Structure 1
């Protein structure tokens, strides 16, 4: 089969011909890929960010936002059948550790992370676990929803957490209206009563924010003053940062009111907060990992009912390098999706 693989860090991935994956465990499932989302994390993987953290064995296949059809199942699999359309939670988990027992799949002590630590879905086929699969209803094409396997559930988890504090009349700011941010904006509308503000440095992102229903939209340079004016000088109650690179965290904190919550989804920058500011402003800082299985299931119910829409752009598998370059250089509105077929 064809697969887009990392051989050396900080060099473009290559399109290789490799064997189709086999079933090894009783609960393994082979998925024929219909769509694989292209994520900023993939850029970080290519650049070697996880080389000394997760230590994957190279070469390996990129791709952790996957959806497709069940191709083959292990002898103990009962929840899916050959031909079923599925979306794949990005982690393959053990099911028996303390974290799995509590439903927090992404804390699993024995997980694998396709596309980051083992072969992922920038390919024609993927091997994963039965535990990772959510069935898609008839009429939902896997390529249409593949990015929800990470972008969607990460945004869902972040919004679910802040939905516990947001009240009517309060203000939530989304920084970065890309693949995750445009989902986050829609989820804030669905799951909270807050006024929703979008901030993006590009016209492409601001146009997308308008399309998905942001009530106020600012560029990066005028966001601090704009949010202050909008809130009568108080600041935002919640800022969800889908970027968190360069000076974005500092700008986010300056938009925040006393008692507000800074929710971090993106990564790359360092966070510097004087302890006196933490105390006097009594702010909360939240980190957000990828969502758990329940988050994916809940999100897909919203998607199936037409409550959350994805803005996507399809690329053939052999154009993966172009898709990654377009993502890195801000030429994609929403999310890129690789389609092997």
Structure 2
């Protein structure tokens, strides 16, 4: 099979001929990839930011947002069958540790992370396990939903947290209306009564945000902090969801937060640098977010089936992986870039 592998950090990926993955354990499932989403994490991996944290050995196949069709199953698999369309939870989890048993499988003590710590889905076939799969409802095409496996899952996960603290009359600021942000806006509309304020430097992204239900679309133009303060009657927002986490936006996001508000960190690349006395005196909270659980993914797919969440995508063939990476890096992708292996089909 063909797969796009990273051979050296800070170099383009290479399309290689690779052995097909095999079923090695009773719960293993081989998925024929119908779509694999690109993520800024893939850019960070390519840049070497994850080298020490992941401990992965090069070369390996990237791609952690995957959907497709079941190609082969292990002897103990009975929740999916060959030919089923599925979306793949990004983690392979054990199901036995305490985190898994309480439904917090994103913190599984024995997990692997295809596309980050082992071979992922920028290929024609992917090995995962039955525990990681959510069957797709009829009418959902893997290439149209693949990025929901991480971008959508992460956006749903953070909105589910924010939904616990916002009430009618609350304001939520969304920083970034790109691949994650445009899904987060839809989740906020579906799951909360909050008034949604979206910030982005791109007019196209802001237009999309308005189309998806944002109450206010604010350009990042130097006056955005003041504008948000005006929209919140000078108090600031109950929640700020930062899908960017870089380009100097974090201090602005903190300035938009009301006292006793919560800052949800999703995007990354820079540091949160806030004096501890400000955290104490304002009683503000900073909350990290790393993808979401299998339950989160199943619930997100329910919203997708109901038409409450849709994914804006741009498709690329697998052999154009480096074009897709460059377009993502340069901000030319609206929504999410999806790699579609040649011949992918149900």
| Fold equivalence (TM over 0.5) | yes
1:95 corresponding residue in structure 2:
95
Task: State the match for 1:56 in structure 2.
Answer: 56
Structure 2 equivalent of residue 239 of structure 1? 240
What's the counterpart of residue 10 of structure 2? 10
Give the match for residue 273 of structure 1: 274
SS at match of 2:54: coil
Following the alignment from structure 2 to structure 1, what is the Cα–Cα distance between the partners of residues 278 and 11? 42
Q: How does 1:206-217 map to 2 (within 5 A)?
A: 206-217=206-217
Q: How much does 1:207 deviate?
A: 2.0
Question: What TM-score do you get using the length of structure 1 for normalisation?
Answer: 0.99
Aligned to 1:330: 331
Task: List aligned pairs for 1:170-189, cutoff 5 A.
Answer: 170-189=170-189
Q: Give the Cα–Cα distance (whole angstroms) in 2 for the partners of residues 320 and 144 of structure 1.
A: 17
Preserved CA contact (<8 Å) 1:35 1:142: yes
Cα distance, 1:160 vs. partner? 0.3
Whole-angstrom distance in 1 between the partners of 2:74 and 2:35 = 23
Could you list the per-position Cα deviations for residues 132-187 of structure 1 after superposition, in whole angstroms to 9, with x for gaps in the alignment? 00000111101110000000010001000010110101110000111100000011
CA contact (8 A) 1:152 1:183 kept: yes
List per-residue Cα deviations over 1:220-260 (Å, max 9, x = no partner): 22220111111111111110000011321111000111111
- SS of the equivalent of 1:302 reads helix
Deviations 1:83-118 (A, max 9, x none): 000000000011111111111111111111111111
The CA distance in 1 between the partners of 2:313 and 2:95, in whole Å, is 32
- Corresponding residue for 2:68? 68
Moved over 6 A (4+): none
Aligned-partner SS, 1:52: helix
- Residue pair 1:93, 1:108 contacting (<8 A) in 2 also: yes
Paired position in structure 2 for 1:223: 224
SS where residue 299 of structure 1 aligns?
helix
Equivalent residue, structure 2, for 1:315: 316
**TM-score, structure 2 normalization:** 0.97
Verify the 8 A CA contact 1:35 1:338 in the aligned structure 2.
Answer: yes
Shift of 1:52: 0.7
SS at match of 1:324: helix
Greater shift, 271-280 or 290-299, is seen at 271-280
Match of 1:117 in 2: 117
Structure 1 position 30 matched with structure 2 position 30: yes
Deviation at 1:66, TM superposition (A): 0.2
- State the distance in 2 between where 1:205 and 1:116 align: 28
8 Å CA contact retained: 1:30, 1:70: yes
* Structure 2: distance between partners of 1:281 and 1:9: 42
Q: CA deviation at 1:56?
A: 0.7
Counterpart check, 1:130 vs 2:130: yes
Rounded to whole Å, the distance in 2 between the matches of 1:205 and 1:138 is 30
Give the number of equivalent residue pairs: 341
CA deviations on 1:26-56 (whole Å, 9 max, x unpaired) are 1000000000001101001111111111111
Whole-angstrom CA distance in 1 between matches of 2:138 and 2:190: 24
- Given that residues 208 and 333 in structure 1 are in contact (C-alpha distance below 8 angstroms), is that contact kept between their aligned partners in structure 2? no
Give the distance between the partners of 1:223 and 1:97, measured in 2 at CA.
Answer: 45
Is 2:302 aligned against 1:301?
yes
Please report how far the alpha carbon of residue 19 of structure 1 lies from its aligned counterpart in structure 2 after TM superposition: 1.1
